[in-house]
Amino acid sequence: MGFFYSIKHIPQWRNFSKTGLFSFIVNANAYPDGIRLSTLFSERYDIVDNNCVLFSHSANIEMFNLPTADVFDVLCRLAHPQATEENAYPEQIFDYGITTPNVS
């Protein structure tokens, strides 16, 4: 499992705002799946913020070495835990959530 993101400013596209290309690639699949115009001011804060998951969390080696389906299950259980009789409102953990206007 691997990921890569790219932000490329293309000044020729607009004079009054920064626009360019944004792509986020996971396991060789690009998101969004086609090229579209991106106003980089809106995405860059989501990507370069100190709290962004790409920078603020160290690698979880145990999760990194799991098969993709198992990692997906682990992340789903963290973000959407099942309620129990003892804990009707379990804490949700969104540490590995990456959302930007162009990806979500």
Boundaries of every domain in the chain: 3-79
More confident residue, 25 or 97: 25
Question: Which stretches of 1-104 are assigned E, i.e. beta strand?
Answer: 3-9, 19-26, 29-31, 38-39
Please check whether residue 39 is in contact with residue 103, taking contact to mean a CB–CB distance below 8 angstroms. Answer: no
For 48-99, write each residue's pLDDT tens digit: 566 665 555 566 788 888 888 888 888 888 888 888 899 898 888 766 665 6
Query: In terms of DSSP bridges, do strands 19-26 and 29-31 run parallel, antiparallel, or are they unpaired?
Result: antiparallel
Does the pLDDT at position 104 exceed 50? no
Spatial distance between the Cα atoms of 76 and 72, rounded to a whole number of angstroms: 6
| Rounded Cα distance, 12 and 19, in Å | 9
Half-sphere exposure of 102 (CA within 13 A, CB side): 28
Mean pLDDT (the chain, rounded): 71
2-31: average pLDDT: 72
- Rounded distance, CA 30 to CA 3, Å? 10
Q: Is the predicted pLDDT of residue 10 greater than 50, yes or no? A: yes
